[in-house]
Amino acid sequence: MADQSKNKKPKITDVVGVDFGSTSTKLVRIRKSGSKTNLVDADVMPAFELNSEDKETLSVPKKLAAPYAAACSAGEDAHVRFMFIASNLNDRRAIHQRVAKSLGLGREYRVGHTLVQRGKDQIDHKVLAAGMPVQEVRAVRNLFSAKKPSLISLENAGLAALNSFSHTEAAREEGGIVCYMEAGARSSFISFFLEGELRLVRKFDHGSVYIQQRIQDVLNINEDDALTVLFEDATPLLDHSLDPISTLLQEISISCKFVERNENATIHKVYTSGGLSYSPYWTYMISDITGADVATWDPFNANDMKNVPKGVTGVESMFTPAVGAALALLRNG
């Protein structure tokens, strides 16, 4: 019998997750041993300009230099949609073609999908679909040199963050709907789980930068003072009942009410990650909308990873997309 070992794919057990954010680059190295995942190290680097003509490359610090990399990027132009596909389409390629046609993005986008729940009989498939500009895909690929780490996967940062949540006990909490929000600098994601099953995902093209700018405009203050209001003391807004982000909050409220009505259940817990998860103003407004307690998401503790570096302690939530990207590759690798 011929030796087939050369044709086997290498088992991926050591990954660096890289989040190419708009304000910084977050990296986490995670190893898998059996059914357990262990955090090796984490760090922050300056942000990369993905649209720059300068030929930059990512130089991963030695302590984070895993053989493989799973990357994610903010992707303002990314499209995300939770959709239903007829259950008579069983072949993955057929489902993918239908997803691509439904998104209608054209050849300038790379389209991917995840089958959230397979339908049967007259019940449709539940599919989470995403489209990323080809130009952005190429830009991220070009940041990785021919040397290690080898880039294996790339996805939107908001969906990468979801990977850190969807397999945890928090997603399976009983008592009603569990809401998870990832709010970055440029965009925000909201997702809903009931009994551990994903029921809806939505992307909003607004993040902390938009909110900060709106606070500046409403209060007629400078950037530093607006950041103080957003992350330290929102009294100037709350005392005068000023609502600089009413449009965004209304969209979030519509999503919450839709899920509650559709599932005949109420939201009983909210977890938030990203920069805005450290904003008292943001958490207060989200709690007011949902009527539920809001907790800051810790992707390390929730996924049983200990020994978090000192520089990460207190800002664990900021590393959520990088953690989720790495975990997704380890699960599928």
Q: Is 114 left (phi over 0), alpha (psi -120 to 50) or beta?
A: beta
The reported pLDDT for the residue numbered 6 is: 46
The reported pLDDT for the residue numbered 2 is: 37
DSSP 169: G
Residue 268 sits in a domain of what CATH number?
3.30.420.40
Q: Which amino acid is at 39?
A: L
Low-confidence spans in the chain with pLDDT less than 50: 1-6
The reported pLDDT for the residue numbered 39 is: 95
The neighbouring-strand residues paired with 178 are: 193, 269
Q: What would the two tokens of residue 115 be?
A: 């089958």
Rounded distance between C-alpha atoms, residue 210 and residue 207, angstroms: 6
Q: Which amino acid is at 26?
A: K
Euclidean distance between the first and the last CA atom of the chain, given in angstroms as a whole number: 27
Residue 153 lies in a domain: no
The string of pLDDT tens digits covering residues 145-168 is 767 799 999 999 999 999 999 999
Q: Which amino acid is at 153?
A: S
The reported pLDDT for the residue numbered 9 is: 66
Residue 56 lies in a domain: no
The reported pLDDT for the residue numbered 3 is: 40
- Strands (E) located in the chain: 14-20, 24-33, 36-46, 68-73, 79-85, 109-117, 125-133, 150-156, 177-183, 188-194, 197-204, 267-273, 293-296
* Structural domains counted in the chain: 1
User: Residue 252's domain spans which residues?
Assistant: 170-300
Residue 258 lies in a domain: yes
What values do phi and psi take at 2, rounded to 5? -70, 150
Residue 333 lies in a domain: no
The reported pLDDT for the residue numbered 49 is: 84
The string of pLDDT tens digits covering residues 53-84 is 777 888 999 999 999 999 999 877 888 988 88
The string of pLDDT tens digits covering residues 119-147 is 777 778 888 989 999 999 998 998 987 67
Rounded distance between C-alpha atoms, residue 248 and residue 244, angstroms: 9
The reported pLDDT for the residue numbered 4 is: 40
Contacts of 286 (CB under 8 A, 6+ apart): 181, 252, 270, 272, 294
The neighbouring-strand residues paired with 42 are: 28
Residue 58 lies in a domain: no
- Give the Å distances, CA to CA, from 280 to 186, 296, 312: 19, 11, 20
- Give the Å distances, CA to CA, from 11 to 15, 34, 65, 282: 11, 12, 17, 41
The reported pLDDT for the residue numbered 333 is: 67
Residue 238 lies in a domain: yes
* pTM exceeding 0.75: yes
**Number of neighbouring beta carbons within 10 Å of residue 130:** 23
Radius of gyration of the chain (CA): 20
The reported pLDDT for the residue numbered 311 is: 86
- Strands (E) located in 184-282: 188-194, 197-204, 267-273
Residue 181 lies in a domain: yes
Rounded distance between C-alpha atoms, residue 107 and residue 190, angstroms: 27
Residue 28 lies in a domain: no
